[in-house]
Structure 1
Amino acid sequence: MKDLKATKTFNASSELLDGNAAVRGDKVAVYCGQEKITYKSLLKNVNRFANVLEALGVKPTERVMIVLPDSPMFVYAFLGSIKYGAWPVPVNTMLKEDDYQYMLDNSDARVLVTEQDSKAASVRTTQFCYKLLSGHGLESLMDSSSDEANAYPSGRDDIAFWLYSSGSTGRPKGVPHRHIDMIHSADNYGKKVICVSEHDVCFSVSKLFFAYGLGNGLHIPFRHGASTVLLPTPPSPESVMETVATFKPTIFFGVPTQYNSVLKRMDDSTVDSFKSVRVCASAGEALPPEIFRKWKEETGLEILDGIGSTEALHIFISNMPGDIRPGTSGRVVPGYEAKIVDDSGNEVEEGEAGQLVIRGESVTKGYWQRPEDNNEKFLDGGWFKTGDMYTQESGYFTYQGRGDDMLKVGGIWVSPVEIENVLIQHKAVNEAAVVGHEVEGLSKAFGYISLNEGYVDRSGHDGLTDEILNFVSERLPKYKWLRGIYLVEELPKTATGKIQRFRLRK
């Protein structure tokens, strides 16, 4: 492999596509419904989109906001913008007009690429902004554009694109990423952990506008000449299983909530759908050991749980094939470093809980125009404070919760995740979250749970909550017992499926 640091001109779009178009141009790069897009066709359409931006007079480094479902057009707009030198900004398709207004203004977007019926399309911007509507004119503009384009002469450390953080506790933050970041992630997690090759077909239930989904469905497969399967619609358990049965992916990416949902819909006629899959990966939130066990029992496949972030672009700690410890996030991915520190920044003893900080080539250099957050999160020496609490033993990292999720009961730190993992083992429990509430001025642990279908009609009976409380008490030391349980229809979550415990503390 060539020395990436010695390369003066480095455009991530060209790095991902040019070699594939030359070597395997007729191979299908993207499957989406009835569409099959070869690498040669993909490159041509990426070039056409780049030329549309040029014809509009868009300047390099100006922002191109993308509000599109997973589709070939998303890929054309994203990689076409990078090739031209503009900065694509893919954002969540499930937001409200107010959110799009904020992001369009915050990014000072010059172009919005979306669909006519999206909420983003009706937003009035404070700056001049072209609106390119997929299905209503954009395709015609591309058809009339040349399918050849020169790549903008960017450097490996130049900004290539933005993402937005989930904003679960405030306004989302712009997260710029460089041209090298996608390549670093794909070469390390993609090649050294899940061993992607040109023979693989990748399917990600998480969408492309998420950092996790972007890696799963775009830069990891394209970096290694593999194929990707895109699902434009929301990923219901039924549509996920149908997609797996139709396209027979070899690598399946999900999050714990989605694995759990698919498990509950799986039967003898659908379990065979996963026979083509050789690797299952999970991120977004810690995978409960019970879901790992049930998935392996039903499909014969082990799930590689890991942790990543928007700031790091993809997964930086992961379980590995042949080296899996259920209930942990695994070991540090090659190309990254991680350590656990106390509030003063000193490394803690093995087995002691502390804040997880990481370092690696794909970690952003800072949020867009957020100096206070940058001072708090980005530490000396290139370290980034993730906000997650972890323990580490023998090189294996175990998630304990977000920093503000940890409970201190009787002067002892308690991980909500540990109690949740016990709760989910009960046959009646679908999902669980544990938070602290004050009782007589002291913090006590309370559980919020949603029930499995067969138990919803028992939700009004105190006997069920008592049964679940006893179930927990029999399996944990007394200081980790729950003071009470609340039954809810659904737990509050972010768009990525992470449980928002802070909303339950209110």
Structure 2
Amino acid sequence: MTSPNASSEHALDIPRDYNAATWFIDRHLKDGRADKVAFIDADGSHTYGQLADKVNRAGNALKGLGLHMENRIAMIMLDTVDFPAVFWGAVKAGIVPIPLNTLLTTGDYGYMLSDSRARVLVISEELFDKVEPILPDLPMLEHVVISGKNAHGHTLLSDLLAKAEPKLKTAETTRDDVAFWLYSSGSTGAPKGAVHLQRDLPATAVHYGQQVLGIREDDVTYSAAKLFFAYGLGNGMTFSLHVGATSVLLKDRPTPEAVMKLLKDHQPTIFYGVPTLYGTILADPQYRRETASTRLRACVSAGEALPEDVGRRWEERFGAAILDGLGSTEMLHIFLSNRHGEVRYGTSGKPVPGYELKICSDDGHEVPQGEMGELVVRGPSSATAYWNQREKSLKTFRGEWTHTGDKYYVDDDGYYRYAGRGDDMLKVGGIWVSPFEVEAALISHDKVLEAAVVGETDAEGLVKPKAFVVLAPGETGSEVLKEELQAYVKSKLAPYKYPRWVEFVEALPKTATGKIQRFKLRGTLSQK
């Protein structure tokens, strides 16, 4: 097929007969990139030619286990080259891969494996203990394949690949065939399996990766966000494969120490992070451009809105602007973003080419500019539905429009400003208050590392903001500091928005993507 370029109207020219692996994997051999490095992981460098061979073998290995088109496999895999090999091997064979969060509990895996009815599970050896107790309770699961060296009594992926044929016929899929699923991160409750099509993968790579981020073939990229969820899947895999760039994978947890070492060792040009990580790195004064990557030309943030103060301080210290944006599992990647040379910290930027946004009232009508409402989006990468969740699907996917559940307003310059999740908003004295706005004010205080704000009921039964605060290293909580923070917020925002209560905590509950789980904090409050 030809390049899935976007026209002047931002529509992708994808043929009816289409398999995404042809573009993202096989094309590179024809274009002369067989010897170019595609991925760098803990085991070293892997070229596009080696990747294509591994993809073919993975597809044949899955077929050898008795899988056919549209059968599903679950992936609980750390970030190594085995992940793209299995993912694209499945896609090329017409089999549906379902990457799962590697940080979940045994119960979570039991739910997702049962819900998806996956016939094969490919799992990293380090994670096998989490699923071993539930394997007898999964009658649909026929095979467990281990990525690593310890088979745990099952089959090693490396053995299957070694025995498999190196040539694989591409499945005769269409652009509207199901390609893969992704489960939502669960920031607002139980995970839901979002069903994505073959056409969704090039859509995000073109519209965001090329047209906003400007990723190039000569880039070396690193994403602290892991491959198993939507943001990391684009960052660490599809964007680089789309243009023929190189992506560095980190198997371990992306602690500030691990991330900074990787940036120093591999000198990437693009770094993808999340607000929490950016803030934690900034909390240590020894971290700066000279101790990271001196080649860094662009940074990206998503998962939660980036506080204005964090963005400004990062750019000053590391010499590269952060393009903060909004994406979702349902839309696969970022559809609202800041741009190079037009960064407005404290905002989510403007719509990504190819996507249309509206801000609507509760009754579904579009509100005037400046008024707050729910953000709804339509574009070429929307999931078709949540698996086996018809009611939730109907509420989220309404015709061409996807309802995000996020509250936004558009400022006088056309930038979109985040106000919080719909169920996080607080009404104080009859006026809506955005928890994010109060959190951003708190985080700009030099003694605060992180903050989360929820509603608490006072003695009169009225809802007021309560702040949970993680202090910067070396700081200690006290009544004096609480009053200092309250006064500080009053000086930054309208006085009625200040937190009536401040509670110091060691850590905030979060999803693996870095999103604060405020509903857990509200649950804690209600139990007191």
Give me the TM-score of the superposition, normalised by structure 1: 0.97
Give 1:256-335 correspondences, 5 Å limit.
Answer: 256-267=275-286, 271-335=290-354
Task: Find the counterpart in structure 2 of residue 114 from structure 1.
Answer: 123
SS in structure 1 of the partner of residue 475 of structure 2: helix
Indicate yes or no: 2:29 matched with 1:10.
no
Indicate yes or no: 2:134 matched with 1:123.
yes
4+ runs deviating over 4 angstroms: 1-6
Q: Which moved more, 1:259-268 or 1:91-100?
A: 259-268
Give 1:21-40 correspondences, 5 Å limit.
Answer: 21-23=29-31, 24-40=33-49
Task: Find the counterpart in structure 2 of residue 463 from structure 1.
Answer: 480
Q: From 394, 399, 407, give the equivalent of 1:389.
A: 407
**1:107-139 CA distances to partner (integer Å, 9 max, x unpaired)?**
000100013342134432132421111123220
Task: Find the counterpart in structure 2 of residue 404 from structure 1.
Answer: 423
Gaps of 5+ in 2: 5-11, 524-528
Q: From 445, 454, 457, give the equivalent of 2:474.
A: 454
Indicate yes or no: 2:147 matched with 1:134.
yes
Indicate yes or no: 2:383 matched with 1:370.
no
- Displacement of 1:171 in angstroms is 2.1
The answer (yes or no) to whether the contact 2:183–2:193 under 8 Å persists in 1 is yes
Amino acid in structure 2 at the alignment position of 1:143: A
Amino acid in structure 2 at the alignment position of 1:339: K
**1:190-237 CA distances to partner (integer Å, 9 max, x unpaired)?**
000111111111100000001000000111110111111000001111
Task: Find the counterpart in structure 1 of residue 57 from structure 2.
Answer: 48
CA distance in 1, matches of 2:322, 2:365: 33
CA distance in 1, matches of 2:291, 2:125: 39
Give 1:45-444 correspondences, 5 Å limit.
Answer: 45-118=54-127, 119-124=130-135, 125-135=138-148, 136=151, 137-267=156-286, 271-380=290-399, 382-393=400-411, 394-439=413-458, 440-444=460-464
CA distance in 2, matches of 1:379, 1:116: 41
Amino acid in structure 2 at the alignment position of 1:204: S
- Displacement of 1:464 in angstroms is 1.0
- Displacement of 1:268 in angstroms is 6.2
- Displacement of 1:99 in angstroms is 0.9
The answer (yes or no) to whether the contact 2:371–2:409 under 8 Å persists in 1 is yes
Q: Which moved more, 1:161-170 or 1:236-245?
A: 161-170
The answer (yes or no) to whether the contact 2:187–2:515 under 8 Å persists in 1 is no
Gaps of 5+ in 1: none
Amino acid in structure 1 at the alignment position of 2:293: F
**1:340-387 CA distances to partner (integer Å, 9 max, x unpaired)?**
00001111111111000000010111111111001111123x101001
Number of residue pairs the alignment of both structures matches: 502
- Displacement of 1:98 in angstroms is 1.0
The answer (yes or no) to whether the contact 2:42–2:80 under 8 Å persists in 1 is no
CA distance in 2, matches of 1:2, 1:237: 38
With over 3 angstroms needed to count, the CA separation of the structure-2 counterparts of 1:156 and 1:418, relative to structure 1, is same
The answer (yes or no) to whether the contact 2:283–2:473 under 8 Å persists in 1 is no
With over 3 angstroms needed to count, the CA separation of the structure-2 counterparts of 1:468 and 1:157, relative to structure 1, is same
Amino acid in structure 2 at the alignment position of 1:130: H
Task: Find the counterpart in structure 1 of residue 9 from structure 2.
Answer: none
Q: Percent identity?
A: 45
CA RMSD for the aligned pairs?
1.4
The answer (yes or no) to whether the contact 2:187–2:516 under 8 Å persists in 1 is no
**1:125-171 CA distances to partner (integer Å, 9 max, x unpaired)?**
13242111112322011111111111101001110000001123332
The answer (yes or no) to whether the contact 2:288–2:317 under 8 Å persists in 1 is no
